[in-house]
Amino acid sequence: MFIKLFSRLYQFGLKLFVLVFPFPKPKLYQGSEGLQDWAKTIKDKGETKLLLVTDETLVNLGVINPVIAALENEQISYSLFSQVQPNPTIANVEHGLQQYLDNQCQAIVAIGGGSVMDCAKLIGARAVKPKKSVKQLKGLFKILKKLPPFYAIPTTAGTGSETTIVAVISDPEVQQKYAVTDLVLAPKAAILVPELTTGLPGHITATTGMDALTHAIESYIGNNATPFTKKRSLVACKLIFVNLPKAYANGSDTQARLAMLQGSFYAGEAFTRASVGYVHAIAHQLGAIYNTPHGLANSVILPKVLRWYGKSVVRKLAEISDHCALASPSKTATEKAQGVIELIESMNQEMAIPNQLSEVQNQDIDQIVDAALKEAQLDYPVPKFMEKADCRGVVEKLVA
């Protein structure tokens, strides 16, 4: 009882912090024209020596080529750092920092998914905090110093990392992952170029898109939603419900791809302020134990957690339904909420996302439940607290 009360007080403190200290909002550039405009803008600012942070796959597939062309068009020089691993390590950050310093770069551009952006954020953090190791930056507000100009160009529509204030890093020495959180980590601008995402395979489009939807929904139904985050969550839900099936069915549909990038960005703006909930808490444990891709885990868990929330989320899910015009206005709130959950389940089914995860083993359930509840307890302003048995009930539904 005392712990629950303390959690609610702590979460209320976080909400007040968000309301009192406005989070930085990255400027948005959109489409191929937006990419050109951004390149012109940074040239005008005199930022003509960049560190481009990306990964080998994106280089080999030519995904970064349109960005390179836009920079070359403006005669902006760059040093390419493409050694970011799927779960970026401290060594990745240090190598990137060395390249940044060796080439006397003036700004950092991340082209990639969440891993690339996290690594780029920490290269920037280390550049302004040369005496502090990445490990010493772990936790809340350890940087507190403006990063070099930092720009984010996402190549997936899901993580929202192009607008969040957090970076996650792996420390292989102690087999730990930890988060660095600071307002200064928000990029100065996000450049949403749909052509960079048209080559994404269907299952990645589907699961990353459902990750973005999970951000939008968990931030909306949680207790820390503010008028700003609610608007962002609703806009994101509509964009994703309408456009994810289109982007999945036709990867070359640049309109749907741009809408998904927008949805992911707005959902990112919402959850970086209003946080997430039990869907993420459980998904993170599956990532840690089985390496289950984050978006896949969220897609499968989302409808199950929403069903468990029951009455506590009916009003809010009905509001999402109304905003997205998912049901006839004559339906009851309960019917509308049920409709939202059923829509998520049918989207999963149509995008070949399974209903269970074969890697989840019965003998691991206690470990998953304990770790998920521990993760959620303080930081996640969930609409209703889960007891162990509740969480177990949800996780058991994941077992194939």
Interacting residues toward Fe ion by CB under 5 A: 211
Cβ nearer to Fe ion, comparing 47 with 211: 211
Tokens of 53: 């942070």
Cβ nearer to Fe ion, comparing 338 with 348: 348
Cβ nearer to Fe ion, comparing 29 with 266: 266
Shortest spacing between CB 267 and Fe ion, in angstroms:
9
Cβ nearer to Fe ion, comparing 153 with 213: 213
Cβ nearer to Fe ion, comparing 118 with 211: 211
> Would you state the torsion angle of the CA atoms of residues 57, 63, 65, 71, taken in this order, to the nearest 10 degrees?
-100
Cβ nearer to Fe ion, comparing 68 with 288: 288
